[in-house]
Amino acid sequence: MSRIVYVNGEYLPEEDAKISIFDRGFLMADGVYEVTSVLDSKLIAFAGHSERLQRSLNELEMAAPASKDELLQIHRELVKRNDLVDGLIYLQVTRGSPGDRDFVFPDPAETPSTLVMFTQSKPGLADNPAAKTGMSVISIEDIRWGRCDIKTIQLLYPSMVKMMAKKAGAEDAWLVKDGVVTEGSSNNAYIVKGGKIITRELSNDILHGITRAAILRYAREAQMEVEERSFTIEEAQDADEAFVTSASAFVMPVIEIDGVKLGDGTPGKVALRLREIYIEESRKTAI
Ligand code: PDD
């Protein structure tokens, strides 16, 4: 069945949705995005995602295509029109189509930004069987640009990295810059040692995960110790457990790093407990 998607003010069957070939998202990757998960037809952490979207837009001097309230309405309308129960909503804003190719930004008064949104159905998203087995990751050099805090649509390197992981027989990759882990290819990375949760501090080198913020808050509320600092792959291999977080994966245990199994090679207790808390709290606060 064809989805109903949103393009610049219109709800359309996906096959009728069109964007100009001169759109700067298409030509220059000049755009930003957000992924919001949906459980029981309700939005998880919408406020956080819309705030980060605004921050990404500000950093790139891009005009907001709609107010937060309007964005919320569109998210809800897409859930309704697609009968979405569990899944994701993808939102993308680009600097629009000036009608030709030019490196210089167009005048926003003449070139409105492009707003595209669509749903991805993932039945049973919260019961992902991968969480029971955990995943293996390999380390790959982080050669991304210096503003990884902005959620841009330049996703070629993360795609290449996922392919390298796949070829190596792993599920994902952790990126390493200056000898320490920055984050996962599309998630934030954590290790647990002696009950302490360790994750890299916020900077321009990583995306400021909305799930990360929630997880660290829940961990502290549950009296778990949290340390925000960088760590090496060797330290991670020697940790009791490891995990990643993202809007689509929630909390996903990591059981192997560069071929070295962590602990007994099964998902760790802290990761599984945080996953449980996150899903429970997310359902309670979903809108
Ligand atoms: N990825 N780091 C990177 C590089 C990411 O791409 C993501 C999210 C995260 C986690 O952020 P959050 O908790 O706000 O989802 C960290 C999304 C899900 C994606 O690209 O599909």
Q: What integer pLDDT is reported at residue 61 of this predicted model?
A: 96
Is the Cβ atom of 183 under 6 angstroms away from ligand 1?
A: yes
Residues with Cβ within 8 Å of residue 221, at least 6 apart in sequence: none
pLDDT tens readout for residues 123-168: 999 999 999 999 999 999 999 999 999 999 999 999 999 999 999 9
Atom of ligand 1 nearest to the CA of 48: 14
Residues with Cβ within 8 Å of residue 182, at least 6 apart in sequence: 142, 148, 175, 176, 189, 200, 205, 206, 230
Q: What integer pLDDT is reported at residue 1 of this predicted model?
A: 65
Query: How many angstroms is it from 155 CA to the middle of ligand 1?
Result: 11
The reply to whether 269 belongs to the active site is no
The fraction of the chain above a pLDDT of 70, given in percent, is 100
CB atoms within 10 A of CB 138: 21
- Tokens encoding 93: 């804003």
The fraction of the chain above a pLDDT of 90, given in percent, is 99
CA 157 – CA 274 distance, rounded (Å): 29
152: which DSSP letter? B
Atom of ligand 1 nearest to the CA of 33: 20
pTM (2 decimals)?
0.97
DSSP 3-state assignment of 186? coil
Residues with Cβ within 8 Å of residue 231, at least 6 apart in sequence: 180, 181, 191, 198, 200
Q: What integer pLDDT is reported at residue 118 of this predicted model?
A: 98
DSSP 3-state assignment of 44? coil
From the candidates 42, 132, 151, 261, which is the catalytic residue?
151
Q: What integer pLDDT is reported at residue 136 of this predicted model?
A: 98
pLDDT tens readout for residues 48-88: 999 999 999 999 999 999 999 999 999 999 999 999 999 99
Is the Cβ atom of 188 under 6 angstroms away from ligand 1?
A: yes
